[in-house]
Structure 1
């Protein structure tokens, strides 16, 4: 008979079984005893400067590793990670939010305990709106079942979940249970068979099919099957901003990023003139669709998601993306001759001119030449993300950005999660000065755990994305000496960059300082922006 486990031991074992090796968080009195238990386990505590940083780090960890964990105290910590949890929900990232809470024995007669907002279940009600499953572990007889139910939901739906752990439950012995595990999602085999036959006939009779590859291919681990499908059919492929790098951008059938009128005109023309659009796991968001400037005809579309498949104007319920894609591999679909298609147009590096002022255009061309297969790009929202759409990512899943939820502040703490999830990767962080001032303090955490991100600060003294929409003093920021931050941290290297030759020297030295944090303060004019940002800002401005 297996030895009895406490509730915390069972929870930690469940997380470890699913690949979790690091837990991000900030301690507080309601969760201190659980943090102590974690320190005695095989999972390492990564305590960050702020809860929002912990939440973003856990999100990035989940995108690389498959499951992430953030642990915080009650309300003052928990409510600070609602934003990061909302992003994980919107962009389908499986993060487990663990919150300490007052003990069940402390709640009698509803006393006014510190951190309490309204009722003891106020925080739970908030998280019920932004997670796919939630629970309060207040009964040792149901604790194991509830932990399994909630974590399995995160893995099944690729969305965040919430576990509230009252502090007097941490060391209570959990009563085992013996219920069947891995309850499958609803599946309709007859609908799947019919959907595959209809899709086969449409694809085989089409003249110009195109695949729009979506982020769910990554979230559900379907990239290998997707590559097999491309090789089987020879159908050309585009990505969306959110799914950039879902496959290697060197693949011969890869055309580039499709984003409606915001992106390249040749890609837009090719996609929108297709008589058979095969959308696999794509999110139809405003940014993915170039603020809805995309013209994708539903009557010419096969659209598979994690929950159902749409073919033209009808839906096949309970047919998942995974089952549909694997079924397509077994279906008699013709392989096409390789035709003339658009291909990515790599940004060509420019020769640096000594003393010439740095520009956004020069920066991204230089960074494109700098990247290698062991570099993962983490872009914050704004020109850090939009300007990066044209850089070439050499391997799959090596570009992360909040391209749907678009929360500022993701990239710097995200680099923590990425490098801890895969120590073989070196993060290249693209972040505006506004976003950096929100969460850049997490470089202190990077220094503590001896991580080595390269931080590119796009320093234009304010919110460069918003200025073209509606400008005012509210878009201005105090300028920091970003290159001096290593002096404060007593760790890393800083570079102040105003010219092209200074950038090249800094990148070369950053490569040499492979074990150090490197911060490149790239000082650009306030009105300097990429063509992509200029286009999307104009579209946003019409709505402000």
Structure 2
């Protein structure tokens, strides 16, 4: 007979059972009881961040690395600050558990005006219902355990965030144990799956130049091994989207590069768009994935499969699960081909710092970073040219590139680097962030220092919102110039570098590589009018009038 445990203890046990070893957040009076349980637990470690949004971004990155993440905050003043990060996790299918403390059930009688309350006691829950796949208030000890299991199952099933509200007078109440039957997993309709696979087999085998286009859901649903087996079985080359970058390692001979319309390399774009059978696996047809709608993909030459839709040419198949379809592809009699000449990533080791006071350009910065990346590093990119430029970087292993490449919330990268390193302490994050985004969440480097983390943060300092300047310029795109390299003096930790020339960049990166005990911050000052090759490619293509995508 199982021992009686409290609702809070059960929640911690279930988080741990699903792979959560760290919970990010900030305490507040409505959640202090649960925080105390977390602090005393031997199953999870509580990570206090500087701000709730930073905690949300860290939990999101942790979830992308480990399969589930968790953030714990107080009612409304904390919960609503983490709503933006939760929305990003929902948009990009990252399973984050949002745990919010709340006024006790006995405090809610007669609807009093308690501190942190906005409108009604369920206002915060209503907000989160819009940006999560499941939500609950643990208001009844008899059903609390079942509710915890229900929402955690939803997070894992749909790879999206969930919301658990924990009233403070329920934390220590003993829950009711119940017999849990084996989880029921939805099944594909057998006949529909068979018909879809038959059409896919015929289309792929008939094609002269097929290509796999892998996106983020291949990672979210743990299907990287299936993808690799498909590629090895068929010798069909594979490209990824920017959101799916690093879903496989990029060192393989069959890897084309990142396809993103005009944003991507032209040789990759021509190869993918010239294919007579593009098999899009786990793909999101977002504007950024499609190169701001410059992609040209003919639906008649496309197989499009993800967790929400399966279509082959113009045929749509209902009730077919993405996992079943991908595993079914592996069982088909797909003919093996000779791997012909395909685009390859640019060579590494080509950077040599120019002598004298040669200013750093965005293009040369990324060339140097490409040479600098090592086996034990991962890349975390913020939005803007930090993201666009990073798409050309060479990522050696799976899931070593993280970016908010669809929701595109500024301020993601620094706290995400913290979450990523907590998820895998063997990897050292290289964080790419613009100065505008850094001013939002960059002080989370304090959290990195507190927990002994050592990210290398490369700050692209172009004195404002650089990407927006290329859309429409004005004084509103300027930000106050901080002395970023002096930040370690404020925090009493870390090492800062001011970088203006290629020689200074070379020296700073080599010193940062050796400095393994703390974070390093490189303030790389760039011309405000400069831009990455990826952004330049987009501008040139748009100038030619390629402004709308043709896609599924």
Same fold (TM over 0.5): yes
More deviation in 38-47 or 423-432? 38-47
Match of 1:368 in 2: 370
1:354 deviates by 2.8
Give the whole-Å Cα distance in 1 for the aligned partners of 2:410 and 2:182. 38
Query: For the Cα contact (< 8 Å) 1:469–1:538, is it kept in 2?
Result: no
Match of 1:482 in 2: 484
The correspondence for 1:466, drawn from 468, 480, 486, is: 468
Matched, 1:198 2:165: no
1:533 deviates by 2.0
Match of 1:282 in 2: 283
Structure 2: runs of 5+ lacking an equivalent:
548-552
Give the whole-Å Cα distance in 2 for the aligned partners of 1:540 and 1:334. 39
Match of 1:452 in 2: 454
Query: For the Cα contact (< 8 Å) 1:97–1:161, is it kept in 2?
Result: yes
Match of 1:272 in 2: 273
1:264 deviates by 2.0
1:308 deviates by 3.7
Match of 2:550 in 1: none
More deviation in 288-297 or 153-162? 288-297
Matched, 1:254 2:255: yes
Query: For the Cα contact (< 8 Å) 2:353–2:506, is it kept in 1?
Result: no
Match of 2:327 in 1: 326
Structure 1: runs of 5+ lacking an equivalent:
none
Q: What's the secondary structure of 1:356's corresponding residue?
A: coil
Query: For the Cα contact (< 8 Å) 2:215–2:284, is it kept in 1?
Result: yes
Match of 2:68 in 1: 67
Change (3 A) 1:124 1:540: farther
Match of 1:505 in 2: 507
Query: For the Cα contact (< 8 Å) 2:414–2:433, is it kept in 1?
Result: yes
Match of 1:99 in 2: 100
Give the whole-Å Cα distance in 1 for the aligned partners of 2:541 and 2:208. 33
Give the whole-Å Cα distance in 1 for the aligned partners of 2:491 and 2:353. 34
1:538 deviates by 7.7
1:406 deviates by 0.4
What's the TM-score once normalised by structure 2's chain length? 0.96
1:269 deviates by 1.6
Match of 2:48 in 1: 47
1:186 deviates by 3.9
Query: For the Cα contact (< 8 Å) 1:382–1:533, is it kept in 2?
Result: no
1:207 deviates by 0.7
Aligned counterparts, 1:5-154, within 5 A? 5-41=5-41, 42-154=43-155
Query: For the Cα contact (< 8 Å) 1:225–1:326, is it kept in 2?
Result: yes
1:418 deviates by 0.6
Match of 1:338 in 2: 339
1:441 deviates by 0.8
Query: For the Cα contact (< 8 Å) 1:350–1:362, is it kept in 2?
Result: no
Q: What's the secondary structure of 1:141's corresponding residue?
A: coil
1:535 deviates by 4.5
Give the whole-Å Cα distance in 2 for the aligned partners of 1:196 and 1:237. 19
Give the whole-Å Cα distance in 2 for the aligned partners of 1:190 and 1:15. 37
More deviation in 318-327 or 349-358? 349-358
Query: For the Cα contact (< 8 Å) 2:262–2:541, is it kept in 1?
Result: no
Query: For the Cα contact (< 8 Å) 1:411–1:430, is it kept in 2?
Result: yes
Report Cα offsets for 1:47-71 as digits up to 9, x if no partner. 1000000000000000001110000
1:536 deviates by 4.2
More deviation in 217-226 or 305-314? 305-314
